[in-house]
Structure formats: C-alpha cells, structure tokens
C-alpha cells in the first residue's frame, strides 16, 4: 500500500489510507467471477 501511494514506509500510512485500500480489495473480490480475486 505504501509504495502504491508513493510513501517510503508503511508507518507513514494513516488508518484512512489502510481502510480505503481494504475497501478497494473487498470491492475487487466481490466483482470477481466465481468468488475469485480480480486485480
């Protein structure tokens, strides 16, 4: 997540950054066919 957001270290991430990423991952999972994982 840190690299994706252009940060050097994961400790630079805010709880909001982590929550948004988690929601994006959940959305990708729900959109995938057969319950798989779509990237």
Q: What is the pLDDT of residues 1-39, one digit of tens each?
A: 888 888 888 888 999 999 999 999 988 888 886 656 555
pLDDT of residue 36: 61
Residue 24 pLDDT: 92
Give me the pLDDT at residue 31, please. 84
Cα separation values, 22 from 1, 18, 27, Å: 10, 6, 9
Domains of the chain, by residue range, sit at 1-39
Q: What is the pTM of this model?
A: 0.64
Q: CB neighbours of 13 closer than 8 A, spacing ≥ 6? A: 1, 2, 5, 7
């Amino acid at each position: 997540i840190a690299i994706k957001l252009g940060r050097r270290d994961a400790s630079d991430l805010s709880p909001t950054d982590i929550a948004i990423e988690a929601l994006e991952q959940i959305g990708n999972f729900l959109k995938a066919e057969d319950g798989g994982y779509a990237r």
